[in-house]
Structure 1
Amino acid sequence: MKILIVTDAWEPQVNGVVRTLKQTTAELKKMGHTVELLTPLEFKTIPCPTYPDIRLSILPGRKVNQRIRDFAPDAIHIATEGPLGMAARAYSLKHQLPYTTAYHSRFPEYVQLRFGIPLSVTYAWLRRFHNTAQAVMAPTQVVVKDLTERGIKNVVMWSRGVDLEVFKPGRRDKLHSRTPIFVYVGRVAVEKNVEAFLELDLPGSKWVVGDGPAAAGLKSKFGEQKNIHWLGVLNQAELAEVYSSADVFVFPSKTDTFGLVLLEAMACGCPVAAYPVTGPIDVIGSDGPGALNENLHEACIAALRIDRNEVRRFAERYSWAAASRQFLSHLHPFTPTAQEELRLIEQGAIGE
């Protein structure tokens, strides 16, 4: 099957959406499907207000239309609600082509934090965008329920995975600082609530790995005080070394829908400390590989007592192959041949 994935989130961004789409594309190709990604790299772009690392495509409609015609896909998946997503949606509606969409992050909550726009306004726009899709893929059952209650239709679950060969327990000497070592990995942005982590009065030392629009302000405020250390954006192999070296991975966000970094840390045997909110609750549950508590300090201390071997075994439940098969099952191909192929795959009558 020929699958077109349209996304406004792409390199040089380093985030869960980009990693998810890369891994899913790789798995789909292993299954024998032809996949093309339509990304901002093909267009003239401008920086997103308040978040310059995100590039917004300028008037992409004509080129998006041509790319769809040239590739002639069997199925279209629109991963984001940005300019490219809107252009692909408009083309699909005009030509009566079924398509699927995805909900990767709590966009209305982010917009409220950054611009003060009421949630009701943004959710109304999301209903308009997504309710013409044949399926809206969300990463957890909690998010599926939340979106459904907000009036978004046809919401289905598309889980996530982790590369267990890259992210695995290894040497614990990457980070040279006082122990115990507490680490945050991810975008350094207001919605990630990194400041809550940095304000904690914890023993040992703290590390922040990543970059983003809030980094400069937080570095200015905290600097090297309280034994805080900063690393920039790292590749996956380097991240695995960081997770292995840390005693606890701290996830202070209250707005993430999933949090791929949770799986990455756990795959390296690093226990998680987080708030009991959507994302950590769905991935970790009430016990096991992490400590969830409304008091993040208490969660961090409790996580120090968790068996790292148990944490790794928990992460082994997740695979990108399984997540990608789930993605495939939700597609709505619009060519008879592709529809029959997908039906046979779902029934197990042919291999993938």
Structure 2
Amino acid sequence: MMRLLVVTDAWQPQINGVVRTLERTIEELDKMGVQTTVLSPADFRTLPCPTYPEIRLSLTTPVKIRRIIERIKPDAVHIATEGPLGMLARRHCMRTHRRFTTSYHTRFPEYLAARAPVPLRMSYAWMRRFHNAASGCMVATDSLEADLASRGFRHLMRWSRGVDHKLFNPDYPRVLDLPRPIFGYVGRVAVEKNIEAFLALDLPGSKVVVGGGPALEDMRRRFPDVHFTGPKVGEALAAHYCSLDVFVFPSLTDTFGNVLIEALSAGVPVAAFPVMGPVDVISNSGTGVLDNDLAAAAKAALSIPRDRCREYALRFSWEASARQFLDNLIEAMGEESARLPVRVAAE
């Protein structure tokens, strides 16, 4: 059995696309014969991240990280985030000449620029240095790969995403008793998600925001006519998707947008800006409308058949996503992959 170590600064109880992607990938890898250990903030004392207390920053040392990795003796190491744990694991791998992979989940330079006057050039220089040390950096879409390649990122590998078709399906009863049509957003309520671009739109019916985050209370005060549900998970989340007439995705900084295919799997058409993420996921599928005029996109999406959205979403599976991830690991290890269990490497 292959032993994989996943190092991530984003983990439970956080609710976001990174955590959901890692959870589902690990579940599928287990079925493929991969034994995964997660090194996360749950293993250490933590401090809240400034301006974003829901994110916990681990307090540990290089020596502790070295001892943990040496005890686990992983066949492969994947560093999912660029936080304190990711940096320490990267340092250990480089000092011991151990190959490792990374993944580019979050456009931190843009996120940081939304909160502080930090030039993108400086942020990307640091991110490039972090990821170029890896044997492979996994990215979710064509647009992201092209963007990072133009900035000097190397060893880029494709790793798409999946959706739980059983959970996110069109058959839940509608749980929102609001004037229709209902336009909704699902995800973190934070400044970098550009939610205000949705909330300020002149649209008929109702607007709904499902999720929590550092900007939630401020948004509630500023937009009293919007229905904020707070965070939802599992079947409650799936039922809220089903209650929407259009899923509005105002983000300009996401690398993929797992919520896009969750909405589609629930039979809900998408309205979004024509930017990275929506351009790759929606493309020419006819399941959404991409327009710089977000209000126009939202209204036009009302005419899209819900069964078309569901059918398109069935193309995305977590099994295929995990297989792609595993293939990337084996490729990135190069000659070292010969040491992996034959059953895993040959599948």
Q: What band does the TM-score fall into relative to the shorter chain?
A: over 0.9
Count residues in correspondence: 342
The match for 1:330 among 306, 328, 332 is: 328
Match in the other structure for 2:150: 149
The answer to whether the 8 A contact 1:60-1:84 is kept is: no
- CA positional deviation for 1:121: 0.2
Q: Provide Cα deviations, 1:48-93, integer angstroms capped at 9, x if missing partner.
A: 1111100111234222211111110000000000000011101101
- Amino acid across the alignment from 1:52: P
What is the 5 A alignment of 1:104-115?
A: 104-115=105-116
The answer to whether the 8 A contact 2:3-2:34 is kept is: yes
Runs of 4+ in 1 over 3 A off after TM superposition: 332-336, 339-343
3-state SS, counterpart of residue 2 of structure 1: strand
Q: Provide Cα deviations, 1:140-189, integer angstroms capped at 9, x if missing partner.
A: 01101111110011011100000101111123421010000111100000
- Amino acid across the alignment from 2:80: A
Match in the other structure for 2:39: 38
- CA positional deviation for 1:127: 1.4
- CA positional deviation for 1:287: 4.5
3-state SS, counterpart of residue 206 of structure 1: strand
The match for 2:235 among 229, 234, 237 is: 237
Match in the other structure for 1:344: 346
CA distance in 2, matches of 1:173, 1:12: 27
CA distance in 1, matches of 2:69, 2:63: 10
- CA positional deviation for 1:339: 7.1
- Give the direction of change, closer, same or farther, for the CA distance of 1:31–1:339 in structure 2 (3 Å limit): closer
CA distance in 2, matches of 1:139, 1:335: 23
The answer to whether the 8 A contact 2:337-2:345 is kept is: no
- Amino acid across the alignment from 2:147: D
CA distance in 1, matches of 2:81, 2:309: 32
3-state SS, counterpart of residue 114 of structure 2: helix
3-state SS, counterpart of residue 115 of structure 1: coil
Q: Provide Cα deviations, 1:258-299, integer angstroms capped at 9, x if missing partner.
A: 000001000000001100100001000034111111000000
- Give the direction of change, closer, same or farther, for the CA distance of 1:313–1:149 in structure 2 (3 Å limit): same
The match for 1:301 among 296, 299, 302 is: 299
CA distance in 2, matches of 1:336, 1:73: 14
CA distance in 2, matches of 1:28, 1:221: 44
The answer to whether the 8 A contact 2:169-2:266 is kept is: yes
The answer to whether the 8 A contact 2:172-2:238 is kept is: no
- Amino acid across the alignment from 1:148: A
CA distance in 1, matches of 2:194, 2:234: 23
The answer to whether the 8 A contact 1:271-1:306 is kept is: yes
What is the 5 A alignment of 1:53-68?
A: 53-68=54-69
CA distance in 2, matches of 1:292, 1:219: 27
Which sits farther off after the overlay, 59-68 or 298-307? Answer: 59-68
Q: Provide Cα deviations, 1:200-228, integer angstroms capped at 9, x if missing partner.
A: 111110111101111111111112x2xx1
* Aligned alpha-carbon RMSD (Å): 1.2
CA distance in 2, matches of 1:220, 1:175: 21
Match in the other structure for 1:285: 283
Which sits farther off after the overlay, 318-327 or 50-59? Answer: 50-59
The answer to whether the 8 A contact 1:269-1:312 is kept is: yes
% identical equivalent positions: 51
3-state SS, counterpart of residue 232 of structure 2: coil
Gaps of 5+ in 1: 346-352
- CA positional deviation for 1:342: 5.1
- Tell me, yes or no, if structure 1 residue 87 matches structure 2 residue 88: yes
3-state SS, counterpart of residue 170 of structure 1: coil
3-state SS, counterpart of residue 265 of structure 1: helix
3-state SS, counterpart of residue 115 of structure 2: helix
Match in the other structure for 1:73: 74
- Amino acid across the alignment from 2:213: G
- CA positional deviation for 1:335: 6.3
Gaps of 5+ in 2: none
CA distance in 2, matches of 1:104, 1:317: 21
CA distance in 2, matches of 1:60, 1:12: 23
CA distance in 1, matches of 2:263, 2:337: 41
